[in-house]
Amino acid sequence: MSNKNGQVILVLVASLLFFVIILPFRASETSLSILPFVFLLVPIVFLITFINTDAALILLIFSMLVSPELKIAEVPQRAVVVRLDDILLIVVFFTWLAKMAINKQLGLLKHTPFNLPIVAFVLVCIASTSIGVLIGQVNLLKSLFYILKYIEYYILFFMVTNNIRDKEQIKTFIIFFLITCALTCTYALVTVGPMGRATAPFEGPKGEPNTLGGYLILLFAIVIGIFLCTPSRAWQFCCGALACLMFVTLLQTLSCGSYLAFIPMYLSLIILTRRKRPLLIGTLILGILILPSRLPVKVTQRITRTFVPGRVYEPLEGTRVALDDAAAARVETWKWVLDKWKRRPLLGYGLLAWV
């Protein structure tokens, strides 16, 4: 993009980002109060995408962690919600298609090794869910929205692969990813007091911090990878500082699943990296020696209360484990899923089957 157009686009993106960030704080609990903002946002996003797709992708990077949720239906066991970034992605995608139709030299889809597996996965999801709906095992409305959400991720993949042109563009996207991560961590730590644990901005006070934990695990691996491979001292400093911020935020999520996921992620970095492996190993050893005595009390309590003395759970006959109710419920869910998978290993029961 030219400097002039780039400045205009970035100003628009910054303005939209401001509204997207403050929306969860200013909007009421009802979805209807957000609709006027959505109607205002759609034409602006359309204009930005038509002028410069890169700016629209940057907007999506920001919005995915801060967008509020709109509850559109209530089904057994779970509400069907659409987040603001879902709407933005749809607008960006169809505007991108219109732009390609006008600018005929742009190809629809670039060939990647993932194209065929993605198409096969989506077709299997549709076939399996259709069968589940016909035999009454799947809620049509809920499954439909979750299939659309799965397809959204692949739409984003195809959009990004078709718009990537050079390393500088990738670097720009990475910078905005890291800025978004820093803002998310800052929000999570600031709101730990009133919420009791760190959660993502869109989750609200009753959110599930596992979402934030999974996000931090993924971004932590990327940040450490950049730290190990970049020759730039500035990048090393920024990535090192961000990794520390992310680790502190991860601890504050009080998510045992995320704590457990951190172990294979870090071991994978040690195994796969070719640079500064001794640094990773030394950091691991230092962490094992120092961290247990430095952990916040609530983090230690969250870990230790998973294994409750006197609370006996039997995952298998004759096997007794001291687990709390939450951990025992997860094991029961795994057993349930494994049993269902053995009965229908190929197509399963469809997305979000209730049987």
Token representation of residue 36: 């006027």
Token representation of residue 128: 């399996």
Confidence label for 133 from pLDDT (cuts 50, 70 and 90): confident
What's the mean pLDDT when you consider all of the chain? 78
Ordered by start, the domain boundaries in the chain are 1-108, 165-304
pLDDT for the residue numbered 28: 44
Contacts of 327-332 with C-beta under 8 Å, sequence gap 24+, read 327/256
pLDDT for the residue numbered 246: 95
Helix (H) or strand (E) run with residue 318 in it: none
Residue whose pair of structure tokens reads 């100003």 in the numeric block:
11
Q: What is the rounded end-to-end Cα distance, in angstroms, of the chain?
A: 52
Helix crossing, 210-229 with 167-190: angle to 10°? 140
Does position 169 have pLDDT exceeding 70, yes or no? Answer: yes
193-197, 240-244, 249-253, 309-313 — which is least confidently predicted? Answer: 309-313
The amino acid sitting at 159 is: M
At a CB cut-off of 8 Å and minimum separation 6, what does 50 contact? Answer: 95, 98, 99
Phi, psi of 83 (to 5 degrees): -90, 160
The amino acid sitting at 95 is: T
pLDDT for the residue numbered 337: 83
Contact assessment for residue 84 and residue 67, using Cβ atoms and an 8 Å cutoff: yes
Whose CA is closest to 68, among 30, 40, 42? 30
Chain length of the chain: 355
pLDDT for the residue numbered 70: 64
Per-residue pLDDT reduced to its tens digit, 21-42: 555 544 444 455 566 777 777 8
Token representation of residue 294: 């430095």
pTM given for the model: 0.80
pLDDT for the residue numbered 196: 76
At a CB cut-off of 8 Å and minimum separation 6, what does 143 contact? Answer: 129, 132, 133, 350, 351, 352
